[in-house]
């Protein structure tokens, strides 16, 4: 974007129009690689703005839900086409406002387009079931129907992908949407809104309201005319949403934190495993719910593995996402940078051994940005904060294990249950681990990452409430099943109250 757009004001998209916030307030969107670079000023919205957006979504619901799924799918498909056509332009915006590298940002847009194409196809595959009734002359079938108005609250670390993982399933099912994107990455949402309008989505079907979680997000969750909340973010906030939705008997889908573990067995390909750990722990500066936070290494290969991890970590270049050589990008904000350092300092006090990194970078090219070294600890107390709490930064804890079972037990000994991986050449051990590791996603001989666009993603315990997005499983989040009977017997009959013959 041009320098003359740096202080541009961005308003909410409500009912197909750009609307100033009722508060008349705006907040700054800051480039994490250069805190002097203000990407733009965005509407700091309040409860009244949410009220207006929900009303617009409700008014648009009847016509949108009555449009056939294949027709809705055509609009989503065209959105995917434009996402790919503008992939590089959109990726540059993500690099600027979120900080990740260009390849990572390109992947974000590609994932969004993939979900668009997949969900567009679901418009022709929105299958119900037809079966036999136990009664004569009666059909029995099921059919999906939309839920209503969906509130989507999304995270900043994959700013386009996380929105579209929720948005496209919601739309193909016939719902209308009020989106509250992260305050850290609002420009990505704005540009998506422009594409959606260009494609021709009816006014009010997608409404975008900017603001902060405590005010705008809370108002969306508490709104009486919202039928579903889909949230990606911290476990703490997810618990609050769960409580609020539970009181209102409202459906909700939560994708929350992770403390992901990776096991390296003595028969593993150590070269591949060490690269997977470095990639899993430090890509996007560890700011991924699926990042590798803990690694459990068999004592027979521990020293060799640790040496390889250190060599690979030392070679990683830290810098802005605009630099093609960068492998570790900046941290999203100064506040989050301080939070990561609090964990690093706390780990030292708890007796963990700092093997590498652990410093904020403030000299030279790092002066204006939020940079921290990739950090590796050993001799970690399994009950410490470092071992148990999500850090959401480039911090890795390495543990030594004596057996496969010990590694599995340590992976499972967590409040979270999102992603895990095991490196082994033993098929029996791999299959056993897949069965007993308690996570929503599990890999063999691969880094800990999210799922592909056609596969479900989500976790257990503190990582989620059992729902899954995207994949076909997202259809169960964003639609209701209706059971239908058609009786042509000419008599009143009921399968539950039968006369004795």
Q: Which residues are catalytic?
A: 255, 289
Paired strand residues for 31: 34
Count of residues making up the chain: 501
Residue holding tokens 């670079």? 37
Please report, for residues 8, 210, 490, the alpha-carbon distance to residue 27 in angstroms, rounded to integers and kept in the order given: 11, 9, 66
Q: Are 329 and 297 in contact (CB under 8 A)?
A: no
State how far the Cα of 137 lies from the Cα of 119, in Å rounded to an integer. Answer: 36
DSSP character for 469? Answer: B
- How far is C-alpha 330 from the geometric centre of its chain's CA atoms? 19
Query: How would you classify the pairing of strands 416-417 and 460-461?
Result: antiparallel
- For residue 388, give the 3-state DSSP assignment: helix
Distances (CA, A) of 102 to 80, 89, 326, 369, 481: 19, 11, 9, 17, 41
The Cα–Cα gap between 250 and 438 comes to 27
Task: Tell me which long-range contacts 488-496 makes (C-beta under 8 A, separation of at least 24).
Answer: 488/137, 488/138, 488/139, 489/135, 489/136, 489/137, 489/138, 490/137, 493/135, 493/136, 493/138, 495/133, 495/134, 495/135
Burial of 221 (0-12, 13-18, 19+ CB in 10 A): buried
CA distance 152 to 179: 5
């Amino acid at each position: 974007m041009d320098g003359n757009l740096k202080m541009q004001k961005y308003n909410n998209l409500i009912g197909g129009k750009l609307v100033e916030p009722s508060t008349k307030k705006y907040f700054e969107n800051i480039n994490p690689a250069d805190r002097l670079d203000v990407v733009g000023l965005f509407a700091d919205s309040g409860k009244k703005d949410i009220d207006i957006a929900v009303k617009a979504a409700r008014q648009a619901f009847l016509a949108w839900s009555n449009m056939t799924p294949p027709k809705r799918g055509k609009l989503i498909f065209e959105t995917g086409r434009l996402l790919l056509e503008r992939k590089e332009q959109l990726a540059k915006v993500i690099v600027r406002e979120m900080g990740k590298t260009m390849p990572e940002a390109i992947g974000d847009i590609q994932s969004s387009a993939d979900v668009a194409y997949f969900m567009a196809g679901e418009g022709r595959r929105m299958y119900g079931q037809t079966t036999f009734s136990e009664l004569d002359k009666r059909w029995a079938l099921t059919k999906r129907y939309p839920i209503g108005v969906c509130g989507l609250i999304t995270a900043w670390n994959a700013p386009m992908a996380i929105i579209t993982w929720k948005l496209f399933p919601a739309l193909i099912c016939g719902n209308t949407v009020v989106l509250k994107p992260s305050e850290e990455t609002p420009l990505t949402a704005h540009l998506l809104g422009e594409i959606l309008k260009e494609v021709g989505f009816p006014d009010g079907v997608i409404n975008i309201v900017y603001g902060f979680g405590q005010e705008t997000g809370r108002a969306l969750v508490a709104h009486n005319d919202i039928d579903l909340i889909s949230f990606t973010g911290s476990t703490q906030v997810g618990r609050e949403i769960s409580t609020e939705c539970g009181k209102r008997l409202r459906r909700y889908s939560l994708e929350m934190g992770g403390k992901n573990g990776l096991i390296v067995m003595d028969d593993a390909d150590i070269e591949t495993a060490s690269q997977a750990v470095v990639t899993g722990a430090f890509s996007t500066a560890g700011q991924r719910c699926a990042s590798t936070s803990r690694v459990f290494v068999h004592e027979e290969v521990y020293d060799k593995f640790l040496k390889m991890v250190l060599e690979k970590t030392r070679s990683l270049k830290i810098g802005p996402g605009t630099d093609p050589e960068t492998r570790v990008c900046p941290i999203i904000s100064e506040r989050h940078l301080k939070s990561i350092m609090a964990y690093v300092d706390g780990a030292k006090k708890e007796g963990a051994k700092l093997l590498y990194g652990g410093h904020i970078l403030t000299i030279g090219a790092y002066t204006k940005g939020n940079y921290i070294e990739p950090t590796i600890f050993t001799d970690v107390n399994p009950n410490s904060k470092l071992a148990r709490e999500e850090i959401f930064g480039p911090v890795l804890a390495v543990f030594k294990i004596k057996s496969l079972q010990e590694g599995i037990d340590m992976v499972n000994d967590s409040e979270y249950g999102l992603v895990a991986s095991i490196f082994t050449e033993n098929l029996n051990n791999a299959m056993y681990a897949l069965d007993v590791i308690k996570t929503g996603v599990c890999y063999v001989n691969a880094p800990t990452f999210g799922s592909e666009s056609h596969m479900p993603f989500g976790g257990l315990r503190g990582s989620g409430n059992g729902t899954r997005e995207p994949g076909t499983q997202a259809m169960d989040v964003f639609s209701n099943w209706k059971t239908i009977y058609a009786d042509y017997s000419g008599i009143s009959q009921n399968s539950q109250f039968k006369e004795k013959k």
